[in-house]
Amino acid sequence: MVFIAIAFITGTFMELTIILAIVFIHELGHYSMAQLFKWRIRGIMLWIFGGVMDTDEHGNRPIHEEVLVTIAGPFQHIVIYGIVFFVSSANLLPSSVLELIIYYNTAIFVFNLLPIWPLDGGKILFLCLSSMLPYRKAYHSVIIFSIALSILLLIVQFLFLPFTLSAFLLMIFLCMENRTEWKHRYFVFIRFLLNRYEGKSSIRGVRPIAVPAQSSLMQVFALFKRGKKHPIYITYPNNERRSIDENDCLRSYFHEKQYNKSVGELVEHIT
């Protein structure tokens, strides 16, 4: 409502309408693809500078699903270009309106592809990293990179580009958003582990993990990769080796609340 009031006061209601329509179509792409894969969707929030689709899927879906849901938003901008071309050929709208649509569609399209979390480009970067690295390391890396890139873009804007308030506020927003994500990183990781414990994760391969007996459960969990089942091999000081299933570790942590036990002690307890 605030943005609508400002648009009326400043005479930019047409621009606001175009931006919100583009953002809506963008989020509709995410929503439609997520519905196709039967994701649990909480809702969609639209802002003047973008939108967010809130879901209950937290690293437990196959990577190819998350990639398709993520790129479905940017793909809508290609659709919008096609619609503009058709409308232009049919002379259904004034050229000034079509120029505004092309300008804002391009700006939102390019902005969303920046490799900064939680933009689509940042999500694609995270998916690429999480396909190679453990989930927690990938998540931490993309947040740190996003904060650094946002600050770098702010510096570049101040030193080399004409200052625009909108670009400045967007970069500040992204910095604050990633700062919040960093503060919540532990809860995001616990949510990822909880999905595995409850059997909600998609598993498409096996990758053994080798750890010293004195490793804590959280140190073991930090090696977990999305989409992989982890048999855990434990090495004791006398070079003895034992194995334990990841589900036993997760059960001990979430059900039995054995937060302070090492994985070696856990094996002794189970056997």
Residues 6+ apart with CB under 8 A from 154: 168, 171, 172, 175
Packing angle between helix 2-10 and helix 13-36, nearest 10 degrees? 150
Could you tell me which of 223, 184, 188 has the C-alpha nearest to residue 207? 223
To the query of whether residue 66 is one of the catalytic residues in this protein, the response is: no
Where does residue 268 rank: exposed (0-12), middle (13-18), buried (19+ CB within 10 A)?
exposed
Catalytic residue among 15, 27, 57, 177: 27
DSSP 65-95: HHHHHHHHHHHHHHHHHHHHHHHHHHT-S-H
CB-CB contact of 123 with 117 (8 Å): yes
Catalytic site residues?
Answer: 27
